[in-house]
Homo-oligomer: A and B are copies of this chain.
Amino acid sequence: MQLETAIRLRRSVRKYAERKVSRTTVRKLLDLARRAPSSLGGEPWHFLEIRDLALKRELGTIKNKHCPPAKRAFRADFLASVPVIVLVCVDRRRSHGRILENGLLATGHLLLAARAEGLGSVYMSAQTAERPRLRTDIKRLLRIPPGIEPISLIPLGYPAERPAPKRLRPLDTMVHRDYF
């Protein structure tokens, strides 16, 4: 799929068909995710491909538990029935002080690559400064060692919903010449 098409069609999907997502497909997406830029070329990424039902259910529970009040409308229960969840992590020692940057740029590739494969996904945070327990609960559940930091939690599946097109704010209100 064309890059521009993938960007324009990508939406946040939270309802997925039961159709299986193959290991080969996930591997292809991860290969594209890890081609993101990284600080000093450290390639600090680790990806957990989570298919175990009990783990997916528990990730939903953890996300609900640490959900900020403004986002309570978005329950994470659906994680239990997602075909596969990818947890994007970074190795602190390979990140050169750019943990979030490295993790987020790979996550962005993953979201677009998923759309290009006809898969739905949605960005979900696996860390937040205000609720440090989100990160530590995820680390404990998935036996993630010290120095490896979860960044994002990306459900992947063939979409069973078609979100309405985005109504965007006018681009001109966001663009400035030279000075703000």
- Show 8 residue pairs from A and B whose CB-CB distance is below 8 angstroms, ordered by the A residue: A3-B3, A3-B113, A30-B175, A34-B168, A34-B174, A48-B176, A52-B178, A89-B180
A116 to B8, CA, bound (A): 14
- Determine how close the nearest CB of chain B comes to the CB of A75; give it in whole angstroms: 14
Residue on B nearest A122 in the bound complex, by CB:
B37
Residues of A within 8 A of B (CB): 1-4, 6-8, 10, 12, 27, 30-32, 34-37, 40-41, 43, 45-52, 55, 68, 70-71, 89, 96-98, 100-101, 104-105, 107-109, 111-113, 116, 122-123, 125, 128, 130, 142-145, 148, 166, 168-169, 171, 174-180
Given A1-B2, A34-B174: A109 touches B7 (CB 8 Å cut-off)? yes
Chain A interface helix/strand/loop/mixed: mixed
Residue on B nearest A12 in the bound complex, by CB:
B37
- Residue from B30, B109, B123, B144 within 8 A of A171 (CB atoms): B30
Residue on B nearest A85 in the bound complex, by CB:
B178
A6 to B8, CA, bound (A): 16
List the B side residues contacting A105 at CB < 8 Å: 104, 107-108, 111, 123
Given A3-B2, A32-B7, A143-B179: A101 touches B116 (CB 8 Å cut-off)? no
